[in-house]
Amino acid sequence: MNGKITALIAGALAILATGLLISGVSPMEATKTLFQGSLGSLGAFSGTLKETAPLLILGLGVYIALKAGLFNIGVEGQFLVGATLAATVGLRVQGPVGILLSILVACLGGMLWALPAGLIKAYRNGHEVITTIMMNYVAGRFTDFLVQGPLKAAGSQEASTADLATDTRIPALINSGAFELGWSICVGVIGVIMLWFWMRKTVAGYELQAVGANPTASKFAGISAKKIQVWAMSLSGGIAGIAGAFQVLAYEGRFYQGFSPGYGFDALGVALLAGNSAIGLIPASLLFGILAKGGVSLQANGVPKGITSVVLGAMILVAASIRFRSVKSGD
Amino acid sequence: MTFAVELLGISKHFGAVAALDNVSLSVEKGTIHALVGENGAGKTTLMRVLYGALQPDSGEVKLDDQPHTFKNSKDAIQHGIGMVSQHYGIIPALTCLQNLILGAEGGPIVKVSEAKKRADELAKRMGFEFDWDSDAETLSPAGAQKLEILKLLWRNAKVMILDEPTAMLSPSDSEALFASLRKLVDEGATVILVTHRLPEVMDHCKTVTVLRGGKLISSHPVSEVTDRSLAELIVGGSLVEPPVIEPVRDLGIALDISKIVVKDDRRHDVLKGLDLQVKRGEVVGIAGVDGSGQRELFQALLGVRKIDSGSVSIDDQEVTNWSSAKRLQFGLRLIAEDRHEEGVIEDWSLEDNAILGLQRLEPIQKSLFISTPDRHKWAEVVAEKFSTKHGGLNQPMRTLSGGNQQRFVAARALEMSPKLILAFQPARGLDLNGTADVYAAIREKCKAGASALVVSFDLDELLIHCDRIVAMNRGELRQPKPEEARDRQAIGRLMVGAQ
Amino acid sequence: MIDVLRLALIMATPLCLAAMGGYTSERGGITNIGLEGLMLMSACVTALCSAHFGALGGVACGVLSSTLLSILHWLSTQKYRIDHVISGMAINAIAAGGTNFLYGKFSDPNNSGKLVVMPTNYFVVAAIIVPFLLWVNSKYGRFGIRLMAAGSDPDKARLMGTEPITIRFWGLTATGIFCGLAGSMLVSEVQAFTDNMTAGRGYIALAALILGGWRPIPTFVACLGFGFLSALRVQLDGTQIFGANIPAVWASLPYIVTIVALAGFFGRNRTPAGIGKL
């Protein structure tokens, strides 16, 4: 391992330890708190899984685009659009049909929300990062407006839709009181495995990765990079929309202002840390879930939860620079 | 005779390859000195040594009889050396004035009116005219070239190196350029002209130095040579006698290119109505110096560059408007010019690379899926064809040496029932045996009914291995006379535009 | 009306300062989505330090903090060659988390009164002067010309004897200073720091930079436009549309305008040609 990288990792850990010491908490103690709060009991673990589920599905969406060489920073917005649509449809069409229809509409909504970014990237050479950031803010403001106005539940004090009927919600897969396992996480895991298979075994998956790895060589291999970029971006948005639908149907039961605590951003971290195989999304999202859930326990002990974001930011930098080193040393 | 520049016994190795082997060059003060040679002869390397961009392994650089060692280009610039590279150093986003002074602004705050005054004086001296506040992107190629010359003057360059300065200029613009160069020389500047174009040498230069294969071949006053004798010096005598190749039986036309017009990246017509026919079973070589339009021709044939007019047919099937995917499925195969960028995905395994470009062909594709066992078998075939040395098919491509990558890429293009093989320098980076193997395989496929179009910058290679050779010069194909079809000198003359 | 214009100018000030920070970074070829994080870091440090070192000391510390963070972006993109977008994201995460942590730890909970801050007028003046300085620099400054060269074609710039990597260092230092001032301005406006108080202004600044075609004066004008939109939003507060407060949708206008611009409907794409290149 390169000396500079070692220094970077040491630096990240030093930041963390300093932060904890400043807070008057011993690093050992803090680590213990973090893991107890996230993995220490069945209840805590259920909470961690609940945090993990949207990150896993959203990470999956980011990952597909990333493999086609695109940064979909817009999953946050696509997630919000999907969630709003799912809540809207679910309130009007009830029962299992309503559930299926909600997911479908949310997926389409997410795709459409991502489509401009794909088109602008492929045909106008406008950077997808900028367009998706802008689309995130439009989605945020627009969905806020919807739940403050047209979609607001009658007589509600807060900006929120009405609650979905019980039969329009996706029940937990296992609920033993102490431990709860939702459908979302299973969908996420199944999605990861399907994606892994699709990337390895299908011609379309092969071509998508070729575009991401070397667009010029892809062109000479008869692959239409522009079309694939547009599709990858839309697909990515569709998956983010589905994540929104599951968050509404399986956990929240409604859409409200402030629905996402920044899942979209964390999902980018998940996809970046996942590495070369889609399977890596599972441990990466779990890590983020642990930090999110454990961070709450840390806060109760007097360490502001922001420290977890600092650690995540530092980890992303380290992971990205190590990737560069390993590619370079192969020359 | 006083020499402005003397390069004495310069040697430079890149790895095991000797790019320059004990080369000397003496340039008389106040003259235009031509440096000629084929691609890879070492011209640009020698000039980069003089410009301080490369450090020689041995040898000495003298300016006005004083020995100098340049640590970098900045050093060389300070000693009055300036270089205009082939692709120009003009930055389109800056104004003409900003381009002129970049790197030599004369202080943290640019005194624009003074700078403009001096710029105008320089321009006037050369008979140029510039709107200094306009964006450089509005400049024509000729305008950019003029600005490059003013950049040299701005930096008080006394020795000016021009690398292929007329490559992008029209004939009349080229004439104007030489008029300005003569003016500079009359004022005491020294010009070193690196070029492929012999008429320029004959008309404008005083002395000409020929390099071949990194070695100094000769240095003569231009008055003592003819363009014919010069062309012979450049291509040299053949090391091997070209074999007699039996004539191809007439089995019909495999590739019919009719009057195609194609633009280059700068939106200039590079192929202006090019015609070429390749018979079934024939291996046709395109000889020519780099940048004559070979690249654009291949890209147009593959379908990744737009054909503005004209048509292309393969096996009597018009393919002009087909996508490249469809052409590949039809049986077109490419050995790409730039292996790293166009031919392989370096981070991917050999097995994944083995099907790149063939991913939609039987038996690799089975409905929507890639048949993994077939891919594996295929990768083995590709790797074994030319005995690619590798550490396992699951290893990333970048672990292979250049030569082994080339073997792999060539085998990939040849082994899956090709109809038409487009090979750009198919033996790049291979030794003589490897080269022979690749061409033998191409010939074998052609015997079985395919055809091949081969581009190489090595005329000998084409003479040995092709049925027929055409020369490409400035986007035009020129057929040698029937009695000179295998005449090295004659083809060499066509390549460099000599009479 | 005068009130609206005054308000517009105040709203435009942090946008403009941050956008000028974006200019010195992106014009030199470094994509910077971390403007938001730089502003936030400076806002937090300004608020914390004002309590100890007074108004000017607070601003100085805030600017220093965002400059250090900006230099981290230079290190990771130029020395460690991390993708510019990834590095920018990481910087935003570090700033968002770091300010939450620092403010949570160091703010004095007993002192709920207003902070002593620099008057906002100073920042407004700076926001008007800086774009003109940068414009002059782009025409007459050696730094401006070299920055432009580094951002358009680093290879050619190197050939002409300049050092793009060094130029970019100073570009990002300027980014840190300008974004730092922008963050301090936010604190001066409300005399307090609140979690995530930048609320997307860094991205609006980026949008203004894009609309302005990466040129200082047009970017300044775009910021004024966005500031005016924000001021109108404040005026419209309370007006209902479909039962919702108009400001909710109104606030997304800058983003929509930017997307339309990126789609090429307002003329050619002026993105610096060498952006993201090493």
pLDDT digits (tens, 9 = 90+) for C163-218: 899 999 999 999 999 999 999 999 999 888 998 899 889 999 998 998 898 999 99
Size of the A and B interface in Cβ pairs below 8 Å: 68
Please give the pLDDT value at position B76.
87
How far does A39 lie from chain C, in Å, by closest CA? 23
Count of all residues that appear for chain A in the document: 331
Residue position matching structure tokens 């440090």: C45
Question: Chain B residues with CB-CB distance to C under 8 A?
Answer: 73-74, 77, 85, 89-94, 98, 101-105, 107-110, 112
Are the Cβ atoms of C149 and B104 closer than 8 angstroms?
Answer: no
**Cβ atoms B246, B440 nearer than 8 A:** no
Question: Looking at chain C, which residue has its C-alpha nearest residue B105?
Answer: C142
Residue A295 contacts C where some CB pair is shorter than 8 Å: no
Q: How many CB atoms lie within 10 A of CB B65?
A: 9
Distances (CA, A) of B45 to A316, B35, B86, B495: 42, 12, 13, 22
With contacts defined as CB-CB under 8 Å, which chain C residues touch B103? 146, 157, 160-162
Are the Cβ atoms of B110 and C273 closer than 8 angstroms?
Answer: no
Question: Chain B residues with CB-CB distance to A under 8 A?
Answer: 302-304, 323-329, 334, 336, 341-348, 352, 355-357, 359-360, 365, 368-370, 372, 396, 398-399
Instruction: Report residue A331's pLDDT band, with 50, 70 and 90 as the boundaries.
Output: very low
Are the Cβ atoms of C248 and A144 closer than 8 angstroms?
Answer: yes
Question: Looking at chain C, which residue has its C-alpha nearest residue A147?
Answer: C244
Residue A271 contacts C where some CB pair is shorter than 8 Å: no
Domain chopping of chain C, boundaries = 2-262
Instruction: Report residue B247's pLDDT band, with 50, 70 and 90 as the boundaries.
Output: low
Residue position matching structure tokens 């594709």: B365
User: Rounded mean pLDDT of A304-327?
Assistant: 77
Measured CA to CA, the distance from residue B416 to residue B354 in angstroms comes to 11
Instruction: Report residue A1's pLDDT band, with 50, 70 and 90 as the boundaries.
Output: very low
Quick one: B391 exposed, middle or buried, by C-beta within 10 A (0-12, 13-18, 19+)? exposed
Distances (CA, A) of A207 to A68, A111, A202, B345: 9, 20, 9, 12
Residue A214 contacts B where some CB pair is shorter than 8 Å: yes
Are the Cβ atoms of C82 and A116 closer than 8 angstroms?
Answer: no
User: Rounded mean pLDDT of C9-21?
Assistant: 95
Residue A316 contacts C where some CB pair is shorter than 8 Å: yes
Backbone angles phi, psi at B479, to 5 degrees: -85, 130
Chain Cα centroid distance, residue B291: 5
- Residue percentage of chain A with pLDDT more than 90: 44
With contacts defined as CB-CB under 8 Å, which chain B residues touch C145? 94, 98, 101-102, 105, 110
Tokens coding A191: 């999605």
Please give the pLDDT value at position A9.
65
Residue A264 contacts C where some CB pair is shorter than 8 Å: no
Nearest to B77 among C142, C148, C161 (CB): C161
User: Rounded mean pLDDT of C239-250?
Assistant: 70
Distances (CA, A) of A330 to B287, B344, B397, C81: 35, 15, 10, 16
Please give the pLDDT value at position C233.
81
Q: If contacts are CB pairs under 8 Å, which of residues 108-167 in chain C contact chain A?
A: none
Nearest to B370 among A201, A217, A220 (CB): A201
Are the Cβ atoms of C93 and A137 closer than 8 angstroms?
Answer: no
Are the Cβ atoms of A127 and C271 closer than 8 angstroms?
Answer: yes
Please give the pLDDT value at position A7.
64
Q: If contacts are CB pairs under 8 Å, which of residues 224-243 in chain C contact chain A?
A: 240-243
Residues 6+ away with beta carbon under 8 Å from B233 = B210, B212, B217, B218, B225
Mutate to test the interface with A, among B353, B359, B424 (most CBs of A within 10 A): B359
Question: Looking at chain A, which residue has its C-alpha nearest residue C200?
Answer: A137
**Cβ atoms C222, C176 nearer than 8 A:** no
Which domains does chain A show, CATH number per domain? 44-294 (1.10.3470)
Backbone angles phi, psi at B305, to 5 degrees: -130, 135
Nearest to C141 among B94, B103, B109 (CB): B109
Q: Is the pLDDT of residue C129 over 90?
A: yes
Please give the pLDDT value at position B212.
87
Tokens coding B472: 């490409």
Q: Is the pLDDT of residue A328 over 60?
A: no
Measured CA to CA, the distance from residue B90 to residue B103 in angstroms comes to 12
Are the Cβ atoms of B325 and A223 closer than 8 angstroms?
Answer: yes
φ/ψ bin of C240: left (φ > 0), alpha (ψ from -120 to 50), beta (otherwise):
beta
Measured CA to CA, the distance from residue C48 to residue C106 in angstroms comes to 7
Can the peptide bond before residue A171 be classed as cis, meaning omega within 30 degrees of 0? no
Are the Cβ atoms of C145 and B105 closer than 8 angstroms?
Answer: yes
Which CATH architecture does the domain made up of C2-262 adopt?
Answer: Orthogonal Bundle (1.10)
Backbone angles phi, psi at B285, to 5 degrees: -100, 140
- Residue percentage of chain C with pLDDT more than 70: 92
Task: Pick the most confident of A25-29, B179-183, B377-381.
Answer: B377-381
How far does B385 lie from chain A, in Å, by closest CA? 21
Q: If contacts are CB pairs under 8 Å, which of residues 186-205 in chain C contact chain A?
A: 200, 203
Nearest to A148 among C33, C200, C245 (CB): C245
With contacts defined as CB-CB under 8 Å, which chain C residues touch B73? 159, 161
Question: Looking at chain B, which residue has its C-alpha nearest residue C141?
Answer: B109
Q: Is the pLDDT of residue B477 over 50?
A: yes
Residue A226 contacts B where some CB pair is shorter than 8 Å: no
Are the Cβ atoms of B369 and A330 closer than 8 angstroms?
Answer: no
Q: The pTM is what? A: 0.86
Task: Pick the most confident of B284-288, B289-293, C255-259.
Answer: B284-288
Which H or E run includes B19? strand B17-28
Question: Looking at chain A, which residue has its C-alpha nearest residue C262?
Answer: A126
Tokens coding B85: 């590279």
How far does A157 lie from chain B, in Å, by closest CA? 52
Mutate to test the interface with C, among B94, B137, B161, B163 (most CBs of C within 10 A): B94
Are the Cβ atoms of A313 and C92 closer than 8 angstroms?
Answer: yes
Nearest to A204 among B325, B355, B368 (CB): B368
Are the Cβ atoms of B101 and C149 closer than 8 angstroms?
Answer: no
Q: Is the pLDDT of residue B75 over 90?
A: no
With contacts defined as CB-CB under 8 Å, which chain C residues touch A142? 248-249, 252
Tokens coding A193: 């495995």
Q: If contacts are CB pairs under 8 Å, which of residues 102-141 in chain A contact chain C?
A: 116, 119-120, 124-127, 129-131, 133-135, 137-138, 140-141
- Residue percentage of chain B with pLDDT more than 90: 36
**Which strands sit side by side in the sheet containing B3-14, from one edge to the other?**
B17-28, B3-14, B58-63, B66-68
Are the Cβ atoms of B398 and A221 closer than 8 angstroms?
Answer: no
Q: Is the pLDDT of residue B165 over 80?
A: yes
Residues 6+ away with beta carbon under 8 Å from B423 = B334, B335, B410, B413, B442, B452, B453, B454, B455
Which H or E run includes C132? helix C120-140
Mean pLDDT of chain B: 87
Question: Looking at chain A, which residue has its C-alpha nearest residue C90?
Answer: A313
Nearest to C142 among B73, B92, B105 (CB): B105
pLDDT in tens, A233-282: 999 999 999 999 999 999 898 999 889 888 988 899 899 888 778 898 99
Q: How many CB atoms lie within 10 A of CB C121?
A: 12
Are the Cβ atoms of A201 and B352 closer than 8 angstroms?
Answer: no
Backbone angles phi, psi at A284, to 5 degrees: -65, -45
**Cβ atoms A208, A232 nearer than 8 A:** yes
